Chains A and B, each alone.
Chain A
Amino acid sequence: MMKLTPKSATLIVLVALIALSPLLFPSNFYYRVGALIFVNAIAVTGIVILTGYAGQVSLGHAGFAGIGAYACALAPVHLGVPPALAVVLGAVLSGVLAYLVGRPILRLHGYYLGVATLGFGILVTMVLTNERALTGGPDGIEVPDLGLRGLLGDLGLSLSNGQFWYFFSGLCMLIGAWIALNLYDSPTGRALRALHGSEVAARTVGIDVARLKLRAFVISAVYASVSGSLLALQNRFVTPDVAGFMHSIEMVTMAVLGGVGSVLGAIFGAAILTLLPQVLTVFAEYEQMVLGLVMILVMIFLREGLLPSILKKLRGKDE
């Protein structure tokens, strides 16, 4: 059998899924669900770098998604930049903010880091909610069109809105996954994993722990920001919910549920948790109960996350 590195295996699986899934779609609605999965997967890939590689917990990463999303709503209107550039602007802003915020708070551990990141997320939400004149307040604000679909249409490649966002978000997710996988194999990645094992041990072998954690925090913030930008551009509308506590929790849950140790696992988690509410509509009013139950059961019985546990089971059968 040909040997595949985990990196190329992951990428091949993702490309195949993106390209082949549409063949099974019963209606155009599924393009929308697919696009949402990919957008969530981008944020979750960032969580893999922060939590999976570096072992740090954030309960406020949706704050960065909020910055990315509102950059796309506001920059084109107020600064006259095209929406595509606004994505970059949001990402840079998130990165810089993560650097400034991360320096003091990454010294904290466990739940203390949790509450500090939580506070950051809440502060962002609060600004988005209360600065009504700028952000449109709690009712939200419209987001300009990215314009890329029209451009493709002019070039002769005409896609429905759902199809365009499906493939475009898929492509962005692939790029994000590729970067994260490269990082995993890089010296930084190895150092991060050492840090995850034991911070003290990493320090004694000469790793600059503070700088490394900060780097992971900044990178994951950029991922969250891009995810928020794409969500806003796709929805053409955004409210402060995008930065809210529940969205932060959703990101972490997706990553951990799927398997925070690997990019593919986390993306799997994003897919499951994005699909779940669509499937759970059959439970009507019991929807919330079932969702809570799924979260508990997976964490108890499939501790490493869904994908690693499933793979382990499969391998176990082979032997």
Chain B
Amino acid sequence: MSELLQFLFSGVTVGAVYALVALGFTIIYNASDVVNFAQGEFVMLGGMITFAAHAAGLPLPLAAVSAIVLTAGLGVAMNKLAIEPARGAPVVSLIIITIGASIFIQGAAQIVFGKQIHSFPAFSGDAPIRVAGATILPQSLWVIGGAVAVFIALWLFFTRTLLGRAVLATSNNRLAAQLVGINTNFVMTLSFALSAGIGALAGVLATPITLTAYNVGIAFALKGFAGAMLGGMGNPKGALVGGFSIGLIEALTAGYLSSTYKDAAAFVVILAVLFFMPQGLFGRKSTDRV
């Protein structure tokens, strides 16, 4: 029993990180139909900037906030410089642009921060919390709490606020949104800032557990992407469920079947789900335009 509980703890810790990355994907996708493969780099930047600022003498909370703000600014810049000029380009081109951005950010990070692996202290110490024979780190609770809080905030934002609905409207039909007076450029800017900020937050919360280096972004992006697709792209609920599911599948496979093929299990589940539900678990139905 304590064994199962430990696997579950492991799964939700990792799953919360994936969920946070997946949530970041959701916002940009909702606003622009772009899947931003540079999302993982935001996570990396969140961790790296916090480390660098903390090492330079800033207190940890301040370092974390500055990392989130800086990364959000970078997200806005990325939108202005790389995404907006490419509006209307086909899906493949957008994939290449965001991967290009990801390579660019990685290249810049290795020059600015070097290639060493870094970490900073956990927020509430390293003493594990014992529950029925299993243990979980306080930092895991921070990550899980962060994922749930971001989810609730986003859910309220998209369903309860005018601005959130404007984002969804822009996604559904950009022209119509403009016609009813929505400033779609502002919506895009906001989405990238939010998305990058959430990515950076993921990095800030997760780094004491996962550690960080200039090249960790792509792994986060792939897992987060998979989580978002499993749940259904564009739906915060999907991102949350998808992210946690992948974490849990991995941990349970590692625990009960084979640690070698735990990542395989996650992708097999995704393929199986997409086979029966081509839009993911909670995805919206799309109609082909002729």
A contacts, CB < 8 Å to B: 51, 57, 59, 104-105, 107-112, 114-116, 118-120, 122-123, 126, 130, 198-201, 245, 249, 252-253, 256-257, 260, 285-296, 299-300, 303
Bound Cα distance A108, B233 (Å) = 13
Q: Check if B93 sits within 8 Å of A299, measured CB to CB.
A: yes
Known contacts A256-B96, A288-B107, A115 near B226 by CB under 8 Å: yes
**Chain B interfacial residues counted at CB < 8 A:** 46
11 contacts between A and B (CB under 8 A): A57-B95, A105-B274, A111-B233, A245-B218, A286-B107, A288-B106, A295-B96, A299-B86, A299-B93, A299-B100, A300-B85
Q: Verify B274–A108 contact, CB threshold 8 A.
A: yes
Q: Is the CB of B229 within 8 A of A115?
A: yes
Among B54-101, those with CB < 8 Å from A are: 82, 85-86, 89, 91-97, 99-101
B274 touches A115 (CB 8 A): yes
Nearest residue (CB) in A for B97 is A299
Residues of chain B within 8 A of A285, CB atoms compared? 110-111
Q: How far is the CA of A298 from the CA of B261 in the complex (A)?
A: 38
What A residues does B271 contact at CB under 8 A?
104-105, 116, 119-120
**B290 at interface, CB cutoff 8 A:** yes
Besides A118-B225, A292-B102, A292-B105, 17 new A-B residue pairs in contact (Cβ under 8 A), listed by A number: A114-B95, A115-B225, A119-B271, A123-B268, A200-B290, A245-B222, A256-B92, A257-B96, A285-B110, A289-B103, A290-B107, A292-B107, A295-B97, A299-B86, A299-B96, A300-B85, A300-B86
> Given that A291-B107, A296-B104 are contacting pairs, would A118 and B92 also be in contact in the complex, using a CB cutoff of 8 Å?
no
Binary contact track B200-239/A, C-beta < 8 Å → 1, others 0: 0000000000000000001000100110010001000000
B104 touches A292 (CB 8 A): yes
Kindly state whether residue B108 has any CB partner on chain A within 8 Å.
yes
A198 near B225 with CB under 8 A, answer no
User: In the bound complex, what is the Cα–Cα distance between A57 and B91 (angstroms)?
Assistant: 8
Q: Of A110, A245, A296, which is within 8 A of B101 by CB? A: A296
Interface of B is mostly: helix
Q: A59-B95, A112-B278 are in contact. Are A118 and B261 (CB under 8 A)?
A: no
Q: Tell me the complex Cα distance, A201–B290, Å.
A: 7
B107–A287 touching, CB < 8 Å: yes
Let me know if A111 and B35 touch, CB within 8 A.
yes
Q: Pick from B35, B100, B222, B233: contact of A295, CB below 8 A.
A: B100
Q: A119-B226, A299-B86, A299-B100 are in contact. Are A112 and B92 (CB under 8 A)?
A: no
Asked if B156 is an interface residue, CB under 8 A from chain A, the answer is: no
CB pair B97 A296 closer than 8 Å:
yes
Instruction: Determine the residue in chain A with the shortest Cβ distance to B267.
Output: A119
Find chain B residues with CB under 8 A from A288 CB: 103-104, 106-107, 110
Q: Given the complex of chains A and B, what is the CA–CA distance between A309 and B280 in angstroms?
A: 37
Q: Is the CB of B92 within 8 A of A107?
A: no
Nearest chain B CB to A15's CB is how many angstroms away? 29
Asked if A252 and B275 make an inter-chain contact with CB atoms under 8 angstroms apart, the answer reads no
**Residues in B neighbouring A122, C-beta threshold 8 A:** 222, 263-264, 267
Contact B104 A300 (CB under 8 A): no
Report the separation of the CA atoms of residues A256 and B92 in the bound assembly, to the nearest whole angstrom.
Answer: 8
Chain B residues with CB below 8 A from A59, complex form: 95
B277 to chain A, nearest CB (A): 10
B89 and A303 within 8 A (CB):
yes
**Nearest chain-B residue to A114 (Cβ)?**
B95
B161 within 8 A of A: no
**A108: nearest chain-B partner, CB-CB:** B278
Convert B253-285 into 0s and 1s, putting 1 for each residue whose CB lies closer than 8 angstroms to a CB of A.
Answer: 000000011011001101100110011100000
Q: Which of B85, B97, B278 contacts A107 (CB 8 A)?
A: B278
* In the assembled complex, B286 has its CB within 8 A of some CB on chain A: yes
Q: How far is the CB of A173 from chain B (nearest CB, A)?
A: 22
**Do A126 and B278 form a contact, CB below 8 Å, given A285-B111, A291-B103?**
no
CB contacts (< 8 Å) of B111 on chain A: these are 285-286, 289
